[in-house]
Structure 1
Amino acid sequence: MNIKSLLLGSAAALAVVSGAQAADAIVAAEPEAVEYVRVCDAYGTGYFYIPGTETCLKIEGYIRFQVNAGRDASGTSDWDSFTRGNVQFTAKSDTEYGPLTGVIVLQTDADNASSQSSYLDSAYIDIAGFRAGLFYSWWDDGLSGETDSLASNSTLHNSIRYQYESGDFYAGISVDELEDSIHTGLGESANNVGIAAGIGGKAGAFSYQLIGGYDTDTSEGAIRGMGTVAIGPGTLGLAAAWASGPNAYFEESEWTVAAEYAIQATDKFKITPAVQYFANAKNGGQVGTISTVTDFTDVDIWKAGVTLDYQIVENFYAKASVQWQDRTVAVDDNTWSGYFRLQRAF
């Protein structure tokens, strides 16, 4: 065998090996297209499409740090601090009956590292004016400051509600389960029912609300009217409520009147002084507190305070509130309370 034959044989062998490797080569698969999150602008800002669906989702909430001050704010201490985390998920999609809405609000309060409570703050379904689930009633609405007490402490119920809306006007009726009412002295132990109704709206610079509620367990009811109007550098707010007896909707007193004036001092700073009078207050002492209520008394209460709101930067706020309360049962029966709050919204 000469050199020429050896070279030709080696070349043929290499060609065979190269052909086998080419035949067995692995072909990389085409990468799947990535579905990026799409903005959904049909329901306002902050919504995006859940990938693979036509449902729009919005995630929002806030982080709050607060220091409370007042007599025995925490045991024998006159001050106490706590932190709260709140997250709300809102899902919306179009149907032949209008938007189908679902809302879930999760909340955790931490008084300290070992004392924390997580709970479902709201969860409801809403379509074509009908709402069913756990949500706050119209009685949870109030004036903008921190002085007024215009409802019982329990304003969150499992309810079924219908609300008609047309422009700036609304009217509705709600059937509420009052199982968690605080009226242990009057019953309300389990599965009691309340009926609430309300109308409200806006007319130019004026807004108004008129609501009523009837507690079938106590056989007592309450009505409340509230209105605001823009005057000068701020907004004047007035409210009044009356109850036939302590009930799950209003228990603070037989009747009450409240007023405030929210002064928009600057674009970022608001000052809200307010005052409220309670005639024939509930037994148990301080209004706006949880207590066992059995009847109204002949005790009258005055309450006054001021709330300061300041926007530090966008989505970051500071609030300070100081409240004074005096009962007519004694010459020196008055209390002071207040808080300072920092809150970051997102």
Structure 2
Amino acid sequence: MNIKSLLIGSAAALAAVSGAKAADAIVAAEPEPLEYVRVCDAFGAGFFYIPGTETCLKFGGYVRFQTDFGRDLSGTSDWDSFTRAQFEVDTKTDTELGTLRGFIGFRGNADSGVGGATAGTSGNQGSGVFVDQAFIELGGLKVGKFYNWWDDDLSGETDLLSSNTLFNSVRYSYDTGAFAVGLSVDELEGISFGNDVALGNVDNNVGISGSIAGKIGGATASLIGGYDVDREEGAVRLIATADIGPGTLGLAGVYASGVNSYYALSEWAVAVEYAIKATDRLTITPGAQWLGNVAVKNPADGYSIVNADWSNNDAWTAGLTVDYKITEGLSTKVTANYYDEDNRPDFWTGFVRLQRSF
């Protein structure tokens, strides 16, 4: 009897508690409001605001497949194929001191099956992933690893107008759009490979470079210079372009007092090209260049410079570059170039490229 009363009492108590809870209102958590990505048109196409900030972000890059042709590009093979992936992150913010920018460019080369970047001629890219560029920019001040003005050459693939172009640098530029001037202090270190030239910089040396550029209508001109403090040698280069007829005429001239990190190919050079805009998709660019007193090269490999003296050899090169836009974001480039230097065998170089840009 006592047990029965206890069970009935317990059941009644549970029912009362359950009834009391059932009478309470059920409150559901409100969903967080969605914040859609906003387009940031202040810095051009492709930028959008990072949610919750006033910083604009843009992703870009490309995937490239290329086959190079030339004498002994890979061992005794006269051709070499590689694949490259480039991914870029660009951020910009308006501040009271001007536009604050941060840029990172990652590059991955896949050539041989072995990891790690391989040094060599332009066709031998090795395999590995690395930071191609990374810099901070505020107003006219730019610091980090980025390409020098010497990288801005003619549009075709025939000209040989620079040696090394990528440094850790501190640069200040003033740009009005129609006129620009800048000065850069560059760290010269490691071994640079550009235009099939190897130039050794064992120590961390210093370089100073500058640029003056302007444009009027369809004509542009840029004068740049670089001085290698350790070698006590420098170089200057003038490039001018003008829209003439169905294309753009480009002229360039270079003088170097001696072998240096900015230009190490010859004592002087003159280049010309004419980029013909055949259609909206097709551009055909013939070009030629004369090089006076080319650098002394190691006969064992044919491209590395053995000392700081110019030779008595002259050289000339001529070629043709064809650019074709297959569709939006997909293009191809084909080039073939002939090189002839005094007292050395002449040879052909070129490549076929397919590139998806985004």
TM-score normalized with structure 2 length = 0.87
Deviations 1:13-35 (A, max 9, x none): 99957733414664321111122
Which stretch of structure 1 is more off in the superposition, 272-281 or 73-82?
73-82
- 1:128 and 2:139 matched: yes
User: How far apart, in 1, do the equivalents of 2:268 and 2:14 lie?
Assistant: 103
| Contact 2:199-2:304 at 8 Å conserved across structures | no
In the other structure, the counterpart of 2:350 is: 338
Which residue type is aligned with residue 268 of structure 1? R
In the other structure, the counterpart of 2:289 is: 276
| Contact 2:198-2:304 at 8 Å conserved across structures | no
Residue 103 of structure 1: CA displacement? 0.6
- 1:159 and 2:166 matched: no
In the other structure, the counterpart of 1:326 is: 340
| Contact 1:194-1:216 at 8 Å conserved across structures | yes
The 3-state SS of whatever aligns with 2:150 is: helix
In the other structure, the counterpart of 1:299 is: 313
In the other structure, the counterpart of 1:6 is: none
User: How far apart, in 2, do the equivalents of 1:56 and 1:274 lie?
Assistant: 40
User: How far apart, in 1, do the equivalents of 2:57 and 2:346 lie?
Assistant: 48
User: How far apart, in 2, do the equivalents of 1:63 and 1:172 lie?
Assistant: 32
Identity value in percent: 54
In the other structure, the counterpart of 1:8 is: none
Which residue type is aligned with residue 135 of structure 2? Y
In the other structure, the counterpart of 1:231 is: 244
- 1:204 and 2:214 matched: no
| Contact 1:309-1:319 at 8 Å conserved across structures | yes
The 3-state SS of whatever aligns with 1:172 is: strand
Residue 113 of structure 1: CA displacement? 4.0
Residue 45 of structure 1: CA displacement? 0.9
Which residue type is aligned with residue 303 of structure 1? T
User: How far apart, in 1, do the equivalents of 2:174 and 2:217 lie?
Assistant: 20
Residue 282 of structure 1: CA displacement? 0.6
Residue 37 of structure 1: CA displacement? 1.6
Q: Report how many aligned residue pairs link the two structures.
A: 330
| Contact 1:161-1:172 at 8 Å conserved across structures | yes
Which residue type is aligned with residue 316 of structure 1? L
In the other structure, the counterpart of 1:261 is: 274
In the other structure, the counterpart of 1:40 is: 40
Deviations 1:95-136 (A, max 9, x none): 101110111000000004444211111011111201000011
User: How far apart, in 1, do the equivalents of 2:177 and 2:357 lie?
Assistant: 28
Partner of residue 175 from structure 1, selected from 160, 177, 185: 185
Distance 1:24 1:194, change over 3 A: same
In the other structure, the counterpart of 2:5 is: none
TM-score normalized with structure 1 length = 0.90
| Contact 1:246-1:293 at 8 Å conserved across structures | no
In the other structure, the counterpart of 1:70 is: 70
User: How far apart, in 2, do the equivalents of 1:258 and 1:164 lie?
Assistant: 28
User: How far apart, in 1, do the equivalents of 2:152 and 2:173 lie?
Assistant: 15
Distance 1:108 1:187, change over 3 A: closer
Distance 1:14 1:182, change over 3 A: closer
- 1:249 and 2:262 matched: yes
In the other structure, the counterpart of 1:50 is: 50
* Unaligned runs of at least 5 residues, structure 1: 1-11
Residue 49 of structure 1: CA displacement? 1.0
User: How far apart, in 2, do the equivalents of 1:18 and 1:106 lie?
Assistant: 62
The 3-state SS of whatever aligns with 1:217 is: coil
The 3-state SS of whatever aligns with 2:316 is: strand
Deviations 1:54-101 (A, max 9, x none): 111000000000011111121111111100000111101111011101
Deviations 1:128-153 (A, max 9, x none): 2010000111011100000111111x
Root-mean-square deviation over aligned CA pairs = 2.2
More strand by share: 2
Distance 1:290 1:328, change over 3 A: closer
Distance 1:324 1:187, change over 3 A: closer
- 1:146 and 2:160 matched: no
User: How far apart, in 1, do the equivalents of 2:305 and 2:24 lie?
Assistant: 83
| Contact 1:182-1:292 at 8 Å conserved across structures | no
Partner of residue 312 from structure 1, selected from 311, 326, 335: 326
Which residue type is aligned with residue 91 of structure 2? A
Distance 1:182 1:122, change over 3 A: closer
User: How far apart, in 2, do the equivalents of 1:290 and 1:60 lie?
Assistant: 34
Which residue type is aligned with residue 144 of structure 1? S
Residue 221 of structure 1: CA displacement? 0.8
| Contact 2:153-2:161 at 8 Å conserved across structures | yes
Residue 302 of structure 1: CA displacement? 0.8
Which residue type is aligned with residue 260 of structure 2? N
* Unaligned runs of at least 5 residues, structure 2: 1-11, 116-126
